[in-house]
Structure formats: C-alpha cells, structure tokens
Amino acid sequence: MSQTIRKLSVVDSAFLFAETAECPMHVGSLTIVTLPDGYDGDFYEDFKARIASRLYLAPSLRWKLAQTPFDIDRPSWIEDDQFDLNRHVLRGALPEPHDAATAERLAGWLHAKTLNRARPLWELYVFDGMPDNQAAIYSKMHHALIDGGAGAALTEILYETSPNTEAVAAPQPAPAPAEAKRRDERDVASSMFAAYADLWRTPYEPGKLGKLELPRSGGTDLGSVLLDAAIHQIEWPLRVSANLGEIATAYSAALSNAFKPESVKALDLLSAPATPLNAAISSERSFTGVTVSMARVKAIAAKAGGKVNDVVLALSSGMLRRYLGDAGALPKKSLTAFVPISAREKGDAELKNQVFGMVVPLATDVADPKTRLEAIVAGSAASKELAIPFRSLIPHFADIPTFGTPMLLQLLAVFYGRSGLANTMPPPMNVVVSNIFFSRAPIYIAGARIEHVYPMSIPVHGQALNITVNGYVDGLDFGLMAAANVVPDVEPLAAMLCEELDALEAAYGTAA
C-alpha cells in the first residue's frame, strides 16, 4: 500500500468537491516557445527527457488521490506506485495552418476535459511544427494540487534560466525505512493511545498547543478515517483556542474597517448587477491569449498614482464595457471583479492553495477611461483595506474539520449546475481577474526560449469569463477563458483590450 503523504487542506479539497463535468477545476497555460537556431531534433522527446530529469525536484507530480470511503472526509495524497511519464507528457498535432491561433483553439478544447483522478492530476501536451521555428506547450494541473504562487515556484524548478543548462540526473532515492513502509499498516489502537498521551502532554509545553499535531493512523480504510477524523475534531478546536488572541485582533480590525464611512460606501458598490456573462455554463471552452507591454502599463499606473494591477483591472473593465455595450447589455450599475490575493509568505513554495481575495468595483458605469481608472484605484484600495485583516485568519481555518461534508458539497455542486439557478440568482461578482507575477528574466525549456505564457483558468456557473494575467519579462500575457455557450468567440475581447490600452495612453498622454 502506498504511503500517505498528507491530507488535502480544506481549500484544496473544495476544488475537488466543486468539480462537475461543466466546471473542471484545473488551471493551466499555453506556452509559446522558440526553438534554437538550426535545431533539427525532436522537441517533444527532448522536452520529455528534460521533465524526466527534473521530476525528483517536484515530488508532488507523482502524487495521486486516495479518497476516503463514501467520500466522508477529505482525501489524501499518496505516491503513485504505477507512475508513467508517458501518461502525462503527450505529443499533440496541430491542424492547418499550425499557428498560435490554432493552438489556442485546441488548448481551449483540451481545457474542457477533466483530469483522470486515478493518476497524478496533471498533463502536458507538446505541439511542434509551428511557423517561425516555434512550438506550443499546453499544460493543465488540478487546482487541488496547486495555486498561482506554487505554480510559479514549480515552473522555476522544472524550467531553466539558460538555454545551455545541462540536464540534471535524478539522484537515486534512499531506501525507505521499514517503519515508513509500515506507516499505513500501523495498528489503529496504537495511534489512538499515542494521540491521547500527546494530548495530555501538550498543555504543559509552552507554545506547543497552537501548533498541536496529534498522531494519526494515516490509513485510508474506513476505521482509520473515522479515528483520524475523531482526533482532528479534538485537535483543531485546541489549536484555535490557543490562537484566539490573534483571531480576535483580525476580526476587530475587519469590523473597524467595515464601519468606516468610506467602507460603508464601498460595500454598496460591491453588489454585482446581472449580465449575460453571469449564467449557467456548458463544458465547452473558448480561449485566446494577448500580450500588452509592461512598460506601457507601468507608465499609465505611474501617472494614475496606482499599481500595475489597477491598470489590469482598468483594461479588463474597458474591455467588458465595450463588449457588453456592443451587445446592448451594459448595466447602469458598475460590474465587480473578484481579485485573488495570495496568503503565501515570501519564499513559501509549498504546493497547496494559500489564497483569499477581494471584490473590486470595475467602474464600468464611467465612460471616460481616465476617470474610470481613478475610480478603480480608489475602489481597489478600499477593498484591500477591507480584505487584508482576514489574511492572518487563513492558516487557522485552512484545516477546519470537514468530516461528513464532502459528499454533500458534491451533491450541491451538481444540483446548482443542473438546476440553472445561475441564470436567475444575482451573481456575487461578475468576473474573476487574477494577476500573477511569473518571471522578469527569460526562461527556457530543453534549450527553447519561452516567449509567452498565456494562463488558462476556470469559468464557473455564474461567472462565464475568467481573466488571468502572467507578468513575464517585459509583457503582460492575458489569458481570456470563457464558457463557449456564453462567449463563443473571445478573440474580439482581446482586440477590445488592446483598444482600451490605447485609450488609456491617450487619456494620460503616455504614448511614445
């Protein structure tokens, strides 16, 4: 039996339980690379060999799910003892004309397919033979395994900073000690008595109660799952009680911010109007990528007294205003965006989701681009002030007991999708806009230079469009992912986004 590595966190497992056929919960990217001059090899084989040589640096790529009986609790990650790289790194074939637009359409089709839960939850597809000595790599990985911050860290592990980096041979793993091999077979009663003894020792050890981790059986059979759930029900409240001061301080700061006059006004702006984008979705996807100059965006941000992310929101706002206006469906009230915020500490590359977020009014009711951006800068600052106090709460509630809830959550997810409630209920927000720092330096893979990394994220019922941005070298790579039954073609939106950048430059006088 494979050894249990760790239990999924509440957020990680939520991405599993919320997944349906219409709403696959994986994230990915379409990466465009340029092959070295004079290259005459097989890029797919070279790419796969490079991944194979670095897999030991990313052990999570060998993890698969071990679900609990009847889905009564969160699953665990275990080592896949039948791991085969050929099941995860695949060769794709682009139809004519073999260009990036064709790769985008094919990647959108592949993004609609759920991952096989019997294997590690990731896949890579290589499409070579493109014009201008280029190739494309489509990747997808389940959001239960990774978030944007961990994804960037994983990229740094698997990819290279030089085209001449030598492949690194994986070291031979040390034989696992017999005790580790027997971990899943430990006597359940022994785990219970060990946890009981540790529980009585903990109160007498200063500072330990807040980080209490009682022994577990680590098994995936029904008896072990029931025992571990019972231990967790005891452990979690004790950990929370030890951190009540920090939790109370965070809630106090949040309430204090919420009752400020400017915050009360901001809260009124955060209710989202209904739009055609806020509807039940199908499993089909439409996708396109577009790149804008980082220098142009920074120049606008400096003039507006905001940040790059504020301009990203303004570009998204102007694009949505144009799109809905052309369709005769622009609401009088401003649209809102959910903006993820990382709760990850600097240098933390642990492969689990550590994220919360804020809702920002997009000022789509404002016609003038300059006035609209200024409103977004102010609204973003107010929303962040409301949200930031909750950041310190994330670690305390990331492991809340969930025994008995996974199956219920799956049933609710299916019911919500099949009922069509997203077509009638007011949306909590209109669109997701996520901005991720990727790399300021060029990155290579198997000697090929990465030109663009267009992110591909998750539309859901009620939010049929997702806008995710990767900051790479001197550009911002926008990935526009939509449910095809709501937005059949997203390429016009990409053109509108570029037009909005021109409009902002004209408004602020930053055009070169």
* Catalytic residue status for 98: no
What is the full per-residue pLDDT of the chain (512 aa) written as tens digits?
456 778 888 888 888 999 999 999 999 999 999 999 989 899 999 999 988 988 888 888 889 999 888 888 888 899 999 999 999 999 998 988 889 999 999 999 999 999 999 999 999 999 988 999 999 999 999 988 875 445 655 666 678 877 875 545 455 444 444 434 444 444 444 544 454 444 444 454 545 555 656 566 667 777 777 777 777 777 777 777 777 777 777 667 666 766 666 555 556 666 799 999 999 999 999 999 999 999 999 999 999 999 999 999 999 999 999 999 999 999 999 999 999 876 555 554 455 545 567 889 999 999 999 999 999 999 888 888 777 766 666 666 667 777 778 888 888 888 888 898 999 988 989 999 998 888 888 999 888 999 999 999 999 999 999 999 999 999 999 999 999 999 999 999 999 999 999 999 999 998 86
The two tokens of residue 56 are 């030991």
Could you give the CA distance from residue 379 to residue 270 in angstroms, rounded to a whole number? 9
Instruction: Count the neighbouring beta carbons within 10 Å of the beta carbon of residue 434.
Output: 23
Sketch the domain layout of the chain as residue ranges: 4-158, 186-242, 262-401+426-439+457-508
What torsion do the CA atoms of 415, 420, 424, 428 make, to the nearest 10 degrees? 60
Per-residue pLDDT, 318: 97
CA dihedral 294, 300, 303, 306 (to 10 degrees): -80
Beta-sheet pairing, 134-142 with 122-130: antiparallel
Question: What is the rounded CA–CA span in Å between residue 277 and residue 287?
Answer: 15
Check for a shared fold between 4-158 and 262-401+426-439+457-508.
yes
Q: What is the CATH number of domain 4-158?
A: 3.30.559.10
Evaluate whether 377 touches 238 at the Cβ level (below 8 Å). Answer: no
Question: Between β-strands 431-439 and 448-456, what pairing exists: parallel, antiparallel or unpaired?
Answer: unpaired
pLDDT in tens, 405-449: 888 888 888 888 889 899 998 898 999 999 888 888 899 988 899
pTM across the whole model: 0.84
Q: Which CATH class is domain 262-401+426-439+457-508?
A: alpha beta
127 SS3 class: strand
Interatomic CA distance for residues 270 and 265, integer angstroms: 9
Indicate which residue of 143, 232, 452, 461 is catalytic.
143
